[in-house]
Amino acid sequence: MRNVKLIIEYEGTAYAGWQIQPGVRTIQEVLEEKLAVILRHPARAAAAGRTDAGVHARGQVVSFATSSSLAPERIRSALTSMLGPEVVAVDALVAAAGFDARFSASARVYRYVVDTAEVPDPF
């Protein structure tokens, strides 16, 4: 088995956050569904941090273990083509043994933007 580290970004308006929850669509759920197709086996994705419903992410670090010999760049490309445009994998690489996006994180940055304009910003 080898560890793969992904950097993903997503526009989370249509999602109920990162973590799998019954009866709602989540980023982790759709990512794991597509990984299973690409890798031809189930893969459990761990993220450096979890987002809430409707929240977007840039530079989200995700890791998973795989027995697949697919090159990381092929995994990245396939994920983006299957998930885009709302969710994209911007980078992928083989990570060191024992790397876990959640437990290996040394820092997390959260930025909250609240739109108080008279006319809402469509972005």
Helix residue ranges per DSSP H, the chain: 27-39, 72-83
Is 45 buried (19+), middle (13-18) or exposed (0-12) by CB count in 10 A? Answer: buried
State the pTM of this model.
0.88
- pLDDT for 22: 96
How far apart are the C-alpha atoms of 123 and 104, rounded to whole Å? 32
pLDDT number for residue 29: 97
Q: Among all residues, which ones are annotated catalytic? A: 52
Report the relative pairing of strands 2-10 and 46-47 from DSSP bridges. Answer: unpaired
| pLDDT tens, per residue, the chain with 123 residues | 999 999 999 999 999 999 999 999 999 999 999 999 999 999 999 999 888 999 999 999 999 999 999 999 999 999 999 998 999 999 999 999 999 999 998 888 888 888 889 997 776
* Residue 68 to residue 80: CA distance in whole angstroms: 18
